[in-house]
Amino acid sequence: MIAILASMLVATVDPCAPIEPAAVRDPGGAAAYRKVGDEERAAGSPETAAMAYRSALARDPSDAASRRALHELCREAGGAFLRGIARMDAGDLRGAIAAFREARAEAPDPSAALAQGVCHYELSEDGEARAALREAAAAPAHREAAQFYLGLVALRDGDSGEAARLLDSAAANPGFAPAASDLARLARRSGKLVFSLLAESGWDSNAQLAPGGTPISTASDGSLGATATGLFRPRGESGPYLRGTGLYRGQARFGDLDFGGVSGAAGWQVGHADRGLLGEYNYDYRLLGGSSFVSAHRLLVGGWIPAGLLTLAASYFARFESYPAALYAPFSGTLQRTEGTVALRLGRSGRLALGYHLARDGVERSELSWTEHGPGAELRVALTPRLQLGINTTVSLRDYDAVDPNLGLKRSDTYLDAVALMELDIGDRFTMRFSLDGRKAFSNDAPFDYVRIAPTLGLAYIIGM
Amino acid sequence: MHVGGLLLVLAVMSSPGEKSAGVHLAAGALAFREARYAEALVEFRVARGLGASDADPYAAATLVKLGRAEEAVEAFAPTEEGRDALLDYYRSIACYEARLYLCADRLLALVGARSGPRIAEEAAKARAAIASELTKEPPQPTIDWYLTRCGERRDAGRAALAATFCQEAVGLSERRADRYRLSEAATQLSRLTGSGRTGVAR
């Protein structure tokens, strides 16, 4: 984005290079070139102007007017604004900002203000970005570009209404319309307060919802469910947040597997999508078949940083689970999981992430406690601005701690999990979702081998304020 | 751009001025073919200054290559459409890059199959892209944007360019059921052209 903007703002030129005189002096030809140089300079094209003046001087080294004009172009080319653009191009955003400040100190310069605002935005210095971009927006030539970036700043700040307004304005310029329209839609779904409601219906080839290892027979079933979530981020993306969720899923055949619950989380994120840190406390309470199923407290920390073309991320959580019902009580304990991922952007609309996880579930009985590890991969592609596809696959190699006296062996399982997801935005606030979950479980104890397939179709409504 | 053709023109030029203009025209063509566009533009402009009026559309095509789309639209204005398929193609690109999509579409339709298979294929692709943009009814802010550009270019003394933006506003407004700001756009256009239509954006 920066390189494109820089190329929009300035063309490269070196008017100061030495001039090779022509073999024959030609003052008439020099005058013709000088005239073109004057026209090009007046048109705001220093590169071609310099070329014309240089041709004039090659034909007539005594052409004082061309020499003077070329000298001025040479001095301008070394000016603060062009230095800023060069530093911006080289990725030295701090150096670029210093140069743009220098350019703006000499005289009001909307181009320098725009470029400086973009640099501040890239450095997540939103206050400074806003001030510079507002100055640039006053110039008609930069109005939509400045509004576009002001919209991005507002979006990051969680001010969804202002972001949508600015991005809608920027979208009036056909050159910004595609990106600005998509982001305006995103703005309407984000903000300091975001509510979402997801209604979905699915079928599960193995609907028995029991903690891993309980040998209950499998049976397929359909379900209808709804999930409501509220997210409050008073300071935008970076800062504290509260999240609450309520969910319910009713089974078509097995009423004892009706599932519901509530969750509440409080966390703090420092940084944005490009780099950040996150800490969160979460509480889950779940009902199964109308009875209390599990109560769990979870502590989560995570972080992500850019590394060249890649994004490196790591997370860890500890979940303290308590199963009150006698059947599941032996599964009470602490689940811990840590994961590292490396993500690569694929063009402007795709992302591939590869990761590896390590998990440990230490429960009341050692034959039910396990350690698990394995690789995973996720591919997300936006086929169009409104249609996204995702595929996630994980391999988990799980070993239990001790021989299960009921089974007469120490279990060792392998799980192959895959999820395919398609999301289609059908309006500013509505999204259709179709997902297909699959699992193949292998175990050294044959009854624990199974296959599970679960397609789900849902409709989500999301509103940001 | 045919260097051989330009050299032939140079050979039949009689006066020293015409010969000199021809030399610069040929130098511009050579620079253009070698993708030295800034140099090509300077040579074409010098050629025009020395009397080669044929250099204007070549300079305009070079402005397209230099990414100076609005200047190219202006520079093409005196040139008759339909005379040279390649120039029409460059002119359509100028319109497209200046976001004058109706202008671009009209010119690309002119290019058709006259330009050889490669350009014709590019033209067909560009027309398809434009068609997908134009399938929806143009939103009101888009028409506002073209009218604003028209006013700004007019105030800057660039009447021919202003007229193309007003012409685009007229064309887009005609695609709306409510003819949003149509009469205003048409009035501004007629003031700019005297006739309500321009050579660039007929």
Domain boundaries, chain A: 2-77, 80-188, 193-464
Given B118, B135, B152, the domain boundary residue is: B135
Distances (CA, A) of A262 to A247, B22, B23: 6, 83, 82
Contact A66, A33 (CB under 8 A): yes
pLDDT at residue A87, rounded to an integer: 85
pLDDT at B2 over 50: no
B109, B165: one domain: no
Residues near B175 by beta carbon (within 8 Å), at least 6 away in sequence = B134, B137, B138
Lowest mean pLDDT among A11-20, A48-57, A435-444: A11-20
Question: pLDDT band at residue B115, thresholds of 50, 70 and 90?
Answer: low
Cα A318 versus chain centre, distance:
25
- In single-letter form, the type of residue at position A142 comes to H
Degrees (nearest 5) of the Cα angle B92, B145, A10?
A: 65
Query: Does residue B97 sit at the A interface (CB-CB below 8 Å)?
Result: no
CA distance linking residue A111 with residue A117, whole number of Å: 10
B162, two tokens: 């202003």
CATH 2.40.160.40 fits A193-464, yes or no: yes
Segment A383-392 shows an average pLDDT of: 90
- State which residues form the domain around B53: 1-62
pLDDT at residue A14, rounded to an integer: 57
Given B47, B62, B77, the domain boundary residue is: B62
pLDDT at residue A4, rounded to an integer: 42
Question: B150-173: b or e for each residue (b if 16 or more CB lie within 10 Å)?
Answer: beebbeeebebbbbbbbbbbbbbb
Average of per-residue pLDDT values in chain B = 83
User: Which of B24, B42, B50 is closest, CB to CB, to A51?
Assistant: B42
B84, B54: one domain: no
Nearest CA in chain B to A39: B45
Nearest CA in chain A to B38: A48
Q: Is residue B199 part of a domain?
A: no
pLDDT at residue A111, rounded to an integer: 87
3-state secondary structure (DSSP) of residue B153: helix
Asked if A48 and B41 come within 8 Å (Cβ–Cβ), the reply is yes
Query: Does residue B91 sit at the A interface (CB-CB below 8 Å)?
Result: no
pLDDT at residue B6, rounded to an integer: 46
Query: Does residue B20 sit at the A interface (CB-CB below 8 Å)?
Result: yes
Q: Is residue B100 part of a domain?
A: yes
pLDDT at residue A293, rounded to an integer: 92
Asked if B152 and A39 come within 8 Å (Cβ–Cβ), the reply is no
Alpha-carbon distance A49 to nearest alpha carbon in chain B (angstroms)? 8
Q: Is residue B170 part of a domain?
A: yes
Given B62, B83, B99, the domain boundary residue is: B62
A69-89 residue pLDDT tens: 888 887 776 677 878 888 888
Asked if B46 and A33 come within 8 Å (Cβ–Cβ), the reply is yes
Query: Which residue is it, tokens 């339909």?
Result: B82
Alpha-carbon distance A219 to nearest alpha carbon in chain B (angstroms)? 49
Segment B45-53 shows an average pLDDT of: 90
Q: Which chain B residues are within 8 Å of A52, Cβ to Cβ?
A: 42, 45-46
pLDDT at residue A212, rounded to an integer: 47
Lowest mean pLDDT among A162-176, A193-207, A368-382, A389-403: A162-176
CATH topology of domain A2-77: 1.25.40
Segment B56-63 shows an average pLDDT of: 94
Q: Which of B161, B171, B184, B65 is nearest to A11 (CA)?
A: B65
Of the two residues B194 and A284, the one the predictor is more confident about is: A284
pLDDT at residue A220, rounded to an integer: 78
Q: Which of B1, B131, B129, B101 is nearest to B54 (CA)?
A: B1
A437-463 residue pLDDT tens: 999 989 898 777 888 889 999 999 998
Which of B18, B25, B45 has the highest number of chain A CBs within 10 A, making it the mutation to test binding with A?
Answer: B45
- The matching CATH number, chosen from 3.40.190.10, 1.25.40.10, 3.40.109.10, 3.30.70.1230, for A80-188 is 1.25.40.10
pLDDT at A209 over 90: no
The dihedral built from the CA positions of residue A145, A146, A150 and A151, taken in this order, carries a sign that is negative
Q: Is residue B103 part of a domain?
A: yes
pTM score, whole prediction: 0.58
Query: Does residue B158 sit at the A interface (CB-CB below 8 Å)?
Result: no
Nearest CA in chain A to B101: A174
Cβ-Cβ contacts under 8 Å between A and B: the total is 55
Lowest mean pLDDT among A173-187, A231-245, B164-178: A173-187
pLDDT at A230 over 70: yes
Assembly ipTM: 0.77
Q: Is residue B198 part of a domain?
A: no
pLDDT at residue A291, rounded to an integer: 92
Alpha-carbon distance A15 to nearest alpha carbon in chain B (angstroms)? 13
Let me know how long chain B is: 202
pLDDT at residue A21, rounded to an integer: 84
Alpha-carbon distance B119 to nearest alpha carbon in chain A (angstroms)? 24
Lowest mean pLDDT among A105-114, A129-138, A365-374: A105-114
Segment A389-395 shows an average pLDDT of: 96
Q: Which of B80, B70, B146, B81 is nearest to B107 (CA)?
A: B81
Q: Which of A337, A155, A144, A60 is nearest to B146 (CA)?
A: A144
B123, B74: one domain: yes
B30, B55: one domain: yes
Q: Which chain B residues are within 8 Å of A29, Cβ to Cβ?
A: 20, 46
pLDDT at B201 over 60: no
CA distance linking residue A449 with residue A447, whole number of Å: 6
B72, B130: one domain: yes
Domain count, chain B: 3
User: Which of A140, A169, A177 is closest, CB to CB, to B152?
Assistant: A140
Residues near B69 by beta carbon (within 8 Å), at least 6 away in sequence = B63, B93, B94, B95, B96, B97, B98
B71, B131: one domain: yes
CA distance linking residue A277 with residue A268, whole number of Å: 8
A267-310 residue pLDDT tens: 999 988 788 999 999 999 999 888 999 999 999 999 999 898 89
Contact A101, A119 (CB under 8 A): no
